[in-house]
Structure 1
Amino acid sequence: MSHLKQTHYAPLTEAVAIELALSLNFFTENAVLSCKEIGDGNLNLVFHIVDEQGSKGLIIKQALPYAKVVGESWPLTLKRAKIEADALKTFGQLAPDYVPTIYFTDDVLAVTVMEDLSHLLIARTGFINGETYPLISKHLGEYLAKTLFYTSDYGLGPSAKKEQVQMFINPELCKITEDLIFTDPYFDADTNYFEDGLLSDVEALWQDDELRFQVNLLKRSFLTEAEVLLHGDLHTGSVFASNSETKVIDPEFAFYGPAGFDIGQVFANLLFQVIVNTKNQERFVHHIETVWNVFKDEFTHLWNTENKEILAKTDKFLSYTLAKFFEDSLGFAGCELIRRTIGLAHVTDLDSIEDEKTRLAAKRKTLELGKILIKQRKEIINCAAFISKVKEVL
């Protein structure tokens, strides 16, 4: 970008972020801009820039070369910013209603400039504050169906898919997932964090050989099954929402993997609310059912109308595919429940419970449900059986 002073990577300041925003001709030439760094994640700077005299705004996101949660001792590639930008563009073409508009990207600065979503709230925060977002599960079901179908061999065609797989090789961020979701919670790793009151529960989990075997099978799937382009980190902190809108953000973990991973992340992060939000428990159960039912119906429609594999257009093969996705999603949901309870990166849904006895009880339910979903995923053959298992734990 010749009209910017920075031609090499350096973390943006608020002043330089404003300079970048002005250079894009998004605002009027004499606009008075204000800028605030609002990033609360672990990996990035996020600047919110608004025209103080108007209503226009935009977001500038810049990848940091390390994980903020640990510091500069945990270096990370800046290439993830390009992967995230490319994923947002890809998903935006496939499901434009549910992805922010991208205005500009710069690979050297590791910057993405995108639509201002400040009129929405992070879904996890909203849920904790008592919001229930009546349309979020329908929207996420549609988002999942379109992004997972159209990036598969069946929606994209094998040759085009293989080319896209190359674009989204993402070893460094996949390594974070492989360690923090599929490895570290299952032994006494330094990255684990949990209250002393959970020690006996965690030690029992570490000694559960069948659980560790099943987690290894799920990890093998994550490592080897390049079925679809995944968001890769689709929790409720990666979703902006209101009562009428849903936008999926932050796909920097995007790569080609098993379709059930994204679905399972959505399931698990709704399950946190099922466990902790007794007032709206049934509504969140309904959200989970809606995600799956809308996904299944929309994916089925796309399979039957857009399938590029002639011999795959059969009800039997569709049923087999959906059954595999569902089984995988339960196992991956179980892994997410466990790692968010005792691993490095927790969720506020659980940790914000002030009463220790109540908080520990919720976390025990989370661990128990996680183990059930991992070990019994083959026997839980439909959504009704899934919800029944959930209710047994509550």
Structure 2
Amino acid sequence: MTDLPAGYRALDAKALANYLAELKPVALRLGGSPQSWSIEEVGDGNLNLVFKVHGPAGGVIVKQALPYVRLVGEAWPLPLSRAHYEHMALSGQRRLTGALVPEIYHYDERLALIVMELLEPHIIMRRGMIAGTVYPKFADEISTFLAETLFHTSDLALTADVKKAMIGAFSGNTALCKITEDLIFTDPYRIAKLNRWTRPQLDPYAERFRGDGDLKVAISRLKLKFLSSAEAMLHGDLHTGSVMLTAEDTRVIDPEFAFMGPMGFDIGAVLANFLISFFSQAGHEEGPGARDSYREWILETFTSIWEGFAAKFLALWETQAKGDAYPSDLFQGPLGVARLAGERQAYMQRLWADTVGFAAAKMIRRILGLAHNIDLEWIKDADMRARCEARVLTLARDMMVNSGDYPTPQSIVAAARHFDQWQPPLGG
């Protein structure tokens, strides 16, 4: 295990109550005495302790980093400094997007602990989508989050000195980036101890992916971009498990993987999870076709997320470009304005191509790597689950290797509909 800083200890419910009682603003928010508070550990993620605290007057969420990967245990140590980067990212996202992220009430670097707004009656989006819940505002709100956070932390909005300072501020989050580099861009394409998949049904797919030279070149190019392209501040793990929402309100949570990286990684992560959810519906519906209308909502939202993001990002570029990239005095007069408008469109096309590739990488890792999605994991029939997963893998492989065949969201939607009707062969 990593060396622990002086004073660090993992809190249990009793210790947490005593700790919060000393934080007067938090204690006032909860109301009553510590004896009247209910504290429940609700963390179901891979890394941290998460406590839900209720008092007579209100509630809070307390998140504390553990010095290891919770999913694996003490055999996989992990630095507590990830709480520092999460706090820094949450603070920046809150400044840029307001109530699209939870409000922070207290941060304790020594305990690697954040006290923040309790989101109720919000639920994790992934669980809502498994239940077939429609979220009519999500596309608009997540595209706003993406546009605001990515544009305002890029060279389009920032001067070079400020941007380089941000790169430096996040440069120490290497352990979390290493998890991404291995679990997303490397392990699914080789024999790795922590890999897992639905066996024996998907054994042939895992073997083919490990031997697929074209796929290995494509994922390696994406990994290189992830390693070297510090375009903007990323959430770093933006999926439907990192969103809590109701039909009326969306909040993005858990940015502990935050770093300065390629914009398409965040956008692709969101879109990948919508495609995974789309293919998982066959395993959750009461009968064939029972969720056809929900499938359509997923695909419509998939398209709306990118289109909303692109429109908002371009609007910010046109009205709030104060950074050192594309200086305005190089594009004066009608010809200059037209040339810059054309370059903006070319920029968005490159960003879309990155997004397609990163989405494919996220889809593959959720089936052949360590950490899976409950969208698929909760399908009890192993053959049904494997068929859904094989469809995800087959589309993802094509998106990554033949990304030029997917110039628009609509082209991916058409392919998703096609593969959703395909009966894949299974091993075993």
Counterpart mapping for 1:1-394 below 5 A: 8-25=7-24, 26-28=26-28, 30-31=32-33, 32-51=36-55, 53-54=56-57, 56-169=58-171, 170-194=173-197, 195-277=199-281, 279=291, 280-308=294-322, 309=324, 310-311=327-328, 314-394=340-420
Over residues 279-303 of structure 1, what are the superposed CA-to-partner deviations in whole Å (9 max), with x where a residue is unaligned?
Answer: 1111000111111011011101100
Amino acid at match of 1:299: F
Unaligned runs of 5+ in 1: 1-5
8 Å contact kept, 2:123–2:245: yes
Q: After TM superposition, give the deviation of residue 30 of structure 1 in Å.
A: 3.7
SS where residue 250 of structure 1 aligns?
coil
Shift of 1:109: 0.5
Which residue type is aligned with residue 353 of structure 1? I
| TM-aligned CA deviation for residue 7 of structure 1 | 6.7
- Give the conservation status (yes or no) of the 8 Å contact 2:201–2:383: no
Distance 1:270 1:13 in 2: 36
Equivalent residue number for residue 3 of structure 1: none
Cα distance change of structure 1 residues 392 and 30 upon mapping to structure 2, 3 Å threshold: closer
* Mapped partners of 2:280, 2:51: distance in 1: 32
| TM-score w.r.t. length of structure 2 | 0.88
Deviations 1:138-161 (A, max 9, x none): 111110000000010111222111
Post-superposition offset of 1:239: 0.4
Report the Cα offset of residue 181 of structure 1: 0.3
Q: CA deviation at 1:252?
A: 0.4
Q: 1:210: Cα distance to partner?
A: 0.4
Matches of 1:392 and 1:188, distance apart in 2: 31
In the alignment, which residue of structure 1 is the partner of 2:286?
A: none
- CA distance in 2: counterparts of 1:16 and 1:324, whole angstroms: 51
The aligned amino acid for 2:22 is S
Matched residue type, 1:98: L
Question: What per-residue deviation string (whole Å, max 9, x for no partner) do you get for residues 60-117 of structure 1?
Answer: 1100000011111100011100000010000010011210001111111101110001
Query: SS in structure 1 opposite 2:248?
Result: coil
Structure 2 Cα separation of the partners of residues 47 and 198 of structure 1 = 37
CA distance in structure 2 between the partners assigned to 1:389 and 1:226 by the alignment: 31
Q: Within 2, Cα distance between the matches of 1:384 and 1:362?
A: 21
CA-to-aligned-CA distance 1:286-339 (integer Å, 9 cap, x gap): 111111011011101100001024248721221122111111111011011111
Give % identity. Answer: 38
Structure 2 gaps of 5+ residues are: 283-290, 332-336, 421-428
Which residue identity lines up with residue 27 of structure 1 in the other structure?
A: A
Q: Write the distance in 1 (CA, Å) between the matches of 2:211 and 2:419.
A: 21
Rounded to whole Å, the distance in 2 between the matches of 1:383 and 1:43 is 33
Deviation at 1:17, TM superposition (A): 1.4
**Aligned mates of 1:384, 1:72 — CA distance in 2:** 45
Count residues in correspondence.
387
- Aligned partner of 2:423 in structure 1 is none
Using the alignment, how far apart are the partners of 1:214 and 1:97 within structure 2? 37
Please say which of residues 279-288 and 22-31 is displaced more in the overlay. 22-31
Q: 18-27 vs 188-197, which deviates more?
A: 18-27
Give deviations 1:102-139, integer Å, cap 9, x for gaps.
11111111011100013200000111122121111211
Q: 1:7 to 1:179 in 2, by over 3 A?
A: closer
SS at match of 2:407: coil
The CA distance in 2 between the partners of 1:200 and 1:277, in whole Å, is 23
Q: Which moved more, 1:229-238 or 1:197-206?
A: 197-206
Equivalents in 2 of 1:355, 1:19: separation in Å?
46
Moved more, 316-325 or 202-211: 316-325
Residue aligning to 2:424: none
Q: Distance in 2 between matches of 1:68 and 1:104?
A: 23
Please say which structure displays the higher CA radius of gyration: 2
TM-score, length basis structure 1: 0.95
Give the letter aligned to residue 19 of structure 2. Answer: L
Aligned-pair CA distance for 1:23: 2.1
Q: Which moved more, 1:13-22 or 1:167-176?
A: 13-22
